Amino acid sequence: MAQDSRASALKGVPETMLWTLYHRAAEARRPDTVLADPLAVELVEAVDFPFVERFGPAHPLVAQAIALRAGCFDAVVREFLAVYPAGTVVSLGEGLETGFWRVDNGTVDWLTVDLPEPLALRHALLPHGPRQRTLARDARDPAWIDRVDPARGVLVLAQGLFMYLRPTEVRDLIAGCAEAFPGGGLVFDAIPRLRSRRARRDRPRRVSGAYRLPPMPWRMNVADRPGLATAHPAVAEIKDVPLPPGRGPVLGLLTPRADRLPVVRNRRPSVTLLRFASR
């Protein structure tokens, strides 16, 4: 992998792919890591980008949480491939995520849908084989759905994406997938709705140093999940996907018990799997 200066041109939501990669690599360097991801480490070393200057020191808790989220999506993909070994995984807004290399079973068909600029950087830095297709398209543009054959079984990944969309856009994406992929699924993560003025949806979210994540218009509490069924009649199952066991008092002890703690049960980050009815 050769260095590529296009990373510095990324702004707004596309730049978050670098922030996520930076923290995932920081966690992967640990001897007790919760996610083996050597390719992420290689990418951080290959990308011509001032990670520390832009994002500050990687926060260990944030890095572990991001890695656990990636591991959560990996587990869903592995379960899907156990049923559909030659199925199609569609990863929306994938950025520099390296999930394909962590879960590849030798037969999966993988489609990355992303904006042209992030996709160009992905092509420059990562090797792509014959079972890895890419499409330069906004995930909100339903035209990408026509590129997917539903007969093979389809799982759509929206990792770190929905929170940057408008509520109507999230609903339209769910409805489009439910209509086009009978028997398929969609997995996404969400951050909770908070009532404090500091957490208003139209404000950037400070995460480290001077860096702020872009505004997050869409948020969902765990109690809001049943409402997802109204997006389309084919939404047949709404399932919580628990994070893998973490490390330390917060992610190792508190988070796995969150469902039993009334104070945090409803207002915690979550990963949700939607399954669509077969026709």
Could you tell me the two tokens for 115?
């904006």
Evaluate whether residue 81 is within a structural domain: yes
**pLDDT digit string (tens) for 3-51?**
456 888 899 999 999 999 999 999 999 999 999 999 999 999 989 899 9
**What confidence score (pLDDT) does residue 253 get?**
72
Evaluate whether residue 112 is within a structural domain: yes
Evaluate whether residue 53 is within a structural domain: no
Q: Provide mean pLDDT across the span 211-223.
A: 93
Q: Domain containing 192 — which CATH number? A: 3.40.50.150
Evaluate whether residue 185 is within a structural domain: yes
Evaluate whether residue 222 is within a structural domain: yes
Strands 154-158 and 270-276: unpaired
Where are the alpha helices (H) located in 193-258, listed in sequence order? Answer: 248
Evaluate whether residue 47 is within a structural domain: no
For residue 2, what pLDDT band results from cuts at 50, 70 and 90? Answer: very low
The count of domains in the chain is 1
Domain, as residue range, for 243: 68-276
Compute the CA torsion angle 213, 215, 217, 223 (nearest 10 deg): 40
Evaluate whether residue 270 is within a structural domain: yes
Residue 60: exposure state from Cβ atoms within 10 A (0-12, 13-18, ≥19):
middle
Is the pTM for the entire model greater than 0.85? yes
Evaluate whether residue 223 is within a structural domain: yes
